[in-house]
Every structure is written in C-alpha cells, then in structure tokens.
Amino acid sequence: MEHASSTREIPTHGKVPCHVAIIMDGNGRWARQRHLPRIAGHKRGVEAVRATVKACAERGVQFLTLFAFSSENWRRPAEEVSLLMQLFRGALTQEVAKLDRNGIRLRVVGDLSRFDVRIRDLVEEGERRTAHNQRLTLTIAANYGGRWDILQALSRLTREHPDAVAKGISEEALAAYLSMDYAPEPDLFIRTGGEQRLSNFLLWQLAYTELHFTDTLWPDFDARALDQAIDSYRQRERRFGRTSDQVDEAERAQARVAGGAHTPQKMA
Ligand code: IPE
Ligand code: IPE
Ligand code: MG
C-alpha cells in the first residue's frame, strides 16, 4: 500500500492521530526509585504496553508503534539483555491470542537475525495468526535502528533495481522498502522518561511527526497519559511547510468534504 509522503504532499490527518509511535523509556528509573532490580521496571513496562494498546484501540488509533529494543541496546549488561529477551519471548507467547481476539494485527520490525530462533518463530507465528486483523496494527520495533532501516531499504532497492542509482531514487521508491512500508508516517511521537531525543528510532518517518515528551516513566504510562499526549497533538497546527492562512483554508475545504468519523469500539 502506498501512503502519502509528508514531504511530497500534504497528508490528511484527523483529530485522533492515525499512527502513534512511542519510545517507551524510563523502566530502569522506575525500578530504581523503588529499590527494585531494573528488570522489575521492564516487567511493569509490559503492563503499560497492554494498557496502551487497549487505550489506542478504543480511541480509534490505527497504527501503534512501540520501540522495545534499539540496535544500541545490545550495549547493556548481558544479563539485562537476556532478561529483556525472556520478557519479549514471554509476551509473544502469552499475548498473541488476546491481540487476535481484539482485532489487532501484530508486526515486528528490526533486524531479527540477531534474535534466538525461538523468538523468530514466535514472531512469524504471531504475525501470521493476526495478519487478517484490521482494527489496529501494533508494531514492535526490536533490534531496530532508524539508520539500519534506511540502509536496508537502500540495499534491497538497489539489489532489485540495479539501475536505480543511475536513474535517480525517489522518496516514494525508497519508502516502499522501509520496514514499515505498510503504515503511514507517524502523526504523533511520544517519548516517556523525560529524555528529549530520538535515539535512532524512525528517523526517516518522523520528518513531519508532532513530538510529545513527557517525564512520566513508561511503567506509569496509561490511558490518561495517552489522552494528554493526544490533547497536546490536537492543539498543534500541522503546517507541513505552509503558512497558517493556507492551513485554515485547506481545513475549511476538508470540512466541506469530510465523511463520517471512525467510531471506536470497546475492547473485550
Ligand atoms: C526503556 O527503559 C526500555 C528499554 C530500553 C528496553 P530503560 O531501561 O531505558 O529505562 P531507563 O532509561 O534506564 O530509566
Ligand atoms: C531508547 O531508549 C530505546 C528504547 C526505548 C527501546 P534508551 O533508554 O535505550 O535510549 P538512550 O540510550 O537513553 O538514548
Ligand atoms: Mg532509557
């Protein structure tokens, strides 16, 4: 599926962000504040994931992308990495049936070749089992890096089209090879935990995304915190390079042709 490129045309956007991308940060500090091991924070983080998926589905968000493990997180102590892998494996084992029941499609992006075969099999099985779901697409970015993504896209593109460099590569052509080719660019980016940086998340796709930073630590993130982020998003004027007057005029025109709104349902 082709999605509008924010730098090539003006993407349509509504009151509820269609695509929310989150850097789930602050698990370690949450645990430290309670004199618990870091992994206790990661465990509570999984609960915050559940709550956030539910809240997004209920609000009519169509794509939720969560940064779970960056390509740089291998630098952490081996014990923490291995506990994170165990948690990921456990979540894949336990949550897929529930996702499926709730109409949620699971996708995992990142360089999975570095993961244990059990995890790779669970990912494949989870994606296959939920592939037909249409309510919300939940993407987990695992061993993901924005630079890796751009490079893998470029190498696949030039492998399949050896004349691409000579002919010139368009944004659309490259974007079709990015690992999230199935999703529109994020409307709203949230980073919890107080840090204000991208940490090599979706570098290409965040070009025109609205950024929201909160001090809330990820294990404390919930529906209320999501609503605060969405409220802040609603107050932004997304100009995509235009002037305010042009935006007003375009919004009036859009309101004239607007169809019915998406009706969110309750989650089982
Ligand atoms: C985010 O929380 C989870 C992962 C990166 C896996 P952190 O573990 O980075 O928590 P802090 O930043 O140390 O508090
Ligand atoms: C970013 O968090 C990656 C994930 C949330 C998975 P980090 O905690 O690893 O980011 P830095 O290293 O502080 O930038
Ligand atoms: Mg961190």
138 lines ligand 1 (CB under 6 A): no
pLDDT tens, residue by residue, 88-117:
999 999 999 999 999 999 999 999 999 999
Alpha carbon distance 22, 138 (integer Å): 11
Domain range list for the chain: 19-145+188-238
Strand segments (E) across 110-260: 136-144, 188-191, 210-213
- Tokens in use for 213? 């930073």
Residue 1 and residue 180 in contact, taking contact as beta carbons nearer than 8 Å? no
Ligand 2, atom 12: nearest CA belongs to which residue? 199
Known catalytic residues are 25, 73
**Residue where the block lists tokens 């009706």:** 263
Ligand 3 mean position, distance from CA 164 (Å)? 39
Residue 43 and residue 234 in contact, taking contact as beta carbons nearer than 8 Å? no
Pocket test for ligand 2, best of 29, 67, 70, 72 (most atoms within 8 A of CB): 70
Ligand 2 mean position, distance from CA 203 (Å)? 14
29 lines ligand 1 (CB under 6 A): yes
What does the DSSP 8-state code read for residue 216?
S
Phi, psi of 109 (to 5 degrees): -120, 150
Ligand 1 atom with least separation from CA of 217: 14
73 lines ligand 1 (CB under 6 A): yes
Candidates 242, 197, 263, 233; CA nearest to 20 is 233
**CATH 2.60.40.1180 is the classification of domain 19-145+188-238:** no
pLDDT at 268: 56
Report pTM: 0.94
Ligand 2 mean position, distance from CA 19 (Å)? 20
Mean pLDDT in the chain? 95
pLDDT tens, residue by residue, 200-215:
999 999 999 999 999 9
Candidates 107, 108, 103, 106; CA nearest to 135 is 103
